[in-house]
Chains A and B, each alone.
Chain A
Amino acid sequence: MDLSFSKEEQAFQDEVQAFLATALPADIAARVASGQGATRDDMERWHGILHTKGWLGGTWPTKHGGAGWGPIQLHIFEEESALANAPRILPFGLKMLAPVLMEFGSPEQQAEYLPRILDGRDWWCQGYSEPGAGSDLASLKTRADRATDGHADGHADGGPDGGAGSDGDEYGDHYIVNGQKTWTTLGQYANRIFCLVRTRFDGKPQAGISFLLIDLDTPGIEMRPIRLIEGGYEVNEVFFTDVRVPVSNLVGDENEGWSIAKFLLGHERTNIAGTGFSVQALEQVKALARQVKRGGKPLIQNPLFAARLAQTEAELEAMKITNLRMLSKAATGGQLGGEPSMLKIKGTVIRQSLNDLARRALGPAAAPFPSEDLDNLAIAPPGHGHNAAGYFNNRKISIYGGSNEIQRNILAKGMLRR
């Protein structure tokens, strides 16, 4: 057994480190490190820098303008990026939609959208969840009815089990979309949304879902912000009222949307454990615990706190190896089973414990509601004024992307015989 990277992989790691050391703007890294988070402009700037380098579509095939990385290279890039406090690459266009278009999209769709994702002309958001369809995504209700001009046949007369698509020769040239999506991350900056919509109302719910690309400038769309627990805005509700979408925006076949969503779930889950984020968070907590005091001594010398820290570190070291074992399997063409679900659960729990320690370490200094006015008061050591906010916000990571309960259900289904 050999736990180290190959010579080529090590060379790549060096290259990534050298690149990050010079190319990542210091102001962006500072905002990421402080937990305040990258701004819209930061994300766009960083995407631009990576695009120029040719690394934005790291795992994209070269024919689509990508770097053609395998899972290990992607892992190295993502780890090093997290350690350097680079903003994470926004997944919606680059890692979710792009692979779907490459697999299911028409040549026209690929030619139109892939370059726009890479050069930043399009900012995509993900429209899957609905108020009534969270964990049970297949119960989604947003509907897309085929219509010809001046005649929205499905919507007007179709009941819940009537509707468009049932009637082959009535196909129109566009869809009329009605319904609501929610939890749409960074929708406020997006110009396009990819949606799962219902196009058939009989049969199994999974069998009536289609994958639709929608321009957010289309009349009839309203985006409303949702404020999160710590006070920030990163998610939205999106309302669709008689929104006209060309049929050419359908990806794959009508009613094939569920297979597409499942394909996506199985795709690029290497960073699901977020080990880079955790390693970085651990280092920050250690540094913080050397700065702040309890009983006149640095907190890191406090046995109770040190125990919590050391336990979390041991967990993290184990998970890094679990993660590499999965990567190595994926890189050699092995079929992944429950590993991604396990890593999602363990990875989120470890990240959340580190957020907990970062908040806890501050003592009373964690209490102020973060604001720029307070930064110069230095109540918390520099870069730690958002620790409590970050802790609360990161409760999301065990909920979204398939909650940890749903991941356990998936694992149980795979491992337990009934």
Chain B
Amino acid sequence: MNFEITDDRRMLAETLQRFLADTYPFEHRTAVAYDAPFHDPAKWAELADLGIFYALVTEEQGGMGGRGFDIVTLFEELGRALCPEPILGQLLAASLLNAPEPLMDGTRYALAVSELDAPYDPDDITTTADERDGWRLTGRKTVVYGAPAAEVLLVAAKGPDQVLSLFRVAAKDAEIIGYAMIDGGPAGEVFLEDTPAKLVTKDAGPALQNALDLGALALCAEALGAMEVVQATLIDYLSTRKQFGQPIGAFQVLQHRTIDLAIEIEQARSIVILAASAEGGSEFPKRAAQAKHLVGKIARQVSEEVIQMHGGIGLTWEYPLSHYAKRLVMIDHQLGDTDHHLERLMDGL
């Protein structure tokens, strides 16, 4: 047994950590995350130069990673820095595309699946694809992560015979209305009306599910990174904030609750490790669902508790912790919430 990460991955983590610490300070993050285009294109280009996107693509596909632990290593660092760059879309695209070269060089992708009446399950979507001088898509995609920043959209739509397929749309051909998410970073509404598209994969259900599971794993790792930061912040605050003549960390009730969080965060780490190690195998869908179910629950608990134990300061925009706390809750709204994944698990019993 060996729970150490490999040297290559450690180097990746360290490179990214240093880059984000040096060039993406927190004030910069809040400044860009809430103003169009809701991320920093210059930083994105630098991330591409660093070769970060190669870590999203498997060796067979010409990349240098793309496996469970590559994804976890990368997204944990993004979570630690609360980085608003829309790298999730890049990961989802990497697993869906046959020729991911442009992606590795930094061309921005976003995956458009969710619709107003189909928030989490791709089977429920109603966007249509018709073949008339090439493919044409019609429908509305909602809260597409990274949409306002994307150059290429990968769109799930139902073709003839209701077959779920995946298409490529040039972002300039679609109507995209972008906005910030409440926890920062870009998302948007995508309106398609007879929009020209290219077929990527016919009958894409299984490929799409695998991509969404990889995405779920990435989000769990991101949450893990963010939870470590808020845990450290909390422990520090408990020892410095004084009330009633003593550090508030001297109150046993806060000690116990901090320890409860620590236990849950260990649980989160373990389920993420389990899911990452299952990537590529037949158990992966189940492990990814277990991870997203547990982490969704734990991240919210951690968020609520760290705010509560900070008192008023934890509710202020100026204090970075509040932004981490928002992200920890809102991660549960991406790629299936804790109940959605619990239902998948119940169905598999």
Contact = CB atoms under 8 A, between A and B. Distances in A.
Interface stretch (B71-79, B119-127, B195-203): B119-127
Contacts of A139: 243-245
A379 interface: yes
A228 B315 contact: yes
A395 B308 contact: yes
Contacts of A305: 339
Contacts, number: 148
Given A365-B143, A371-B179, A377-B189, A226 B316 contact: yes
A226 B318 contact: yes
Interface in A266-303: 292-296, 302
Interface in B307-332: 307-308, 311-312, 314-318, 322, 325-326, 329-330, 332
B274 interface: no
A304 interface: yes
A229 B325 contact: yes
A304 B180 CA distance: 30
A182 B316 CA distance: 12
B330 A388 contact: yes
Contacts of A304: 339, 342-343
B334 interface: yes
Interface string B275-316: 000000000000000000000000010001001100110111
A9 interface: no
Interface in A371-418: 371, 373-374, 377, 379, 388-389, 391-393, 395-396, 398-400, 403-405, 408
Contact of A369 (B124, B182, B251): B182
Contacts of A230: 182
Interface in A347-366: 352, 356, 359-360, 362-366
B337 interface: yes
A80 to B, nearest CB: 30
Interface string B185-207: 00101000000000000000000
Could you say which interface size class chain B belongs to?
35 or more
A183 interface: yes
Interface residues of A, number: 55
B21 interface: no
Given A226-B318, A370-B182, A389-B182, A360 B312 contact: no
Nearest to A230: B182
B304 A369 contact: no
A136 interface: yes
Most A CB within 10 A of own CB, among B143, B304, B307:
B143
B43 interface: no
B49 interface: no
Contacts of A88: none
B342 A364 contact: no
Contacts of B326: 229, 392
Contacts of A364: 114, 119-120, 142-143, 333-334
Contacts of B117: 292-293, 296
Contact of B180 (A135, A359, A369, A396): A369
A38 B266 CA distance: 43
A228 B330 contact: no
Is chain B's interface secondary structure helix, strand, loop, or mixed overall? mixed
A231 B330 contact: no
Interface in A136-183: 136, 139, 182-183
Contact of A395 (B114, B187, B304): B304
B243 A135 contact: yes
A329 interface: no
B116 A379 contact: yes
Nearest to B336: A363
A369 to B, nearest CB: 4
B179 A229 contact: no
A367 interface: yes
Given A302-B339, A304-B342, A293 B308 contact: no
A396 to B, nearest CB: 6
Given A230-B182, A365-B142, A405-B253, A360 B337 contact: yes
19 contacts: A132-B242, A136-B243, A296-B118, A296-B124, A305-B339, A360-B332, A360-B337, A364-B114, A364-B334, A366-B182, A366-B333, A367-B181, A367-B182, A368-B179, A369-B34, A369-B181, A379-B143, A392-B182, A392-B326
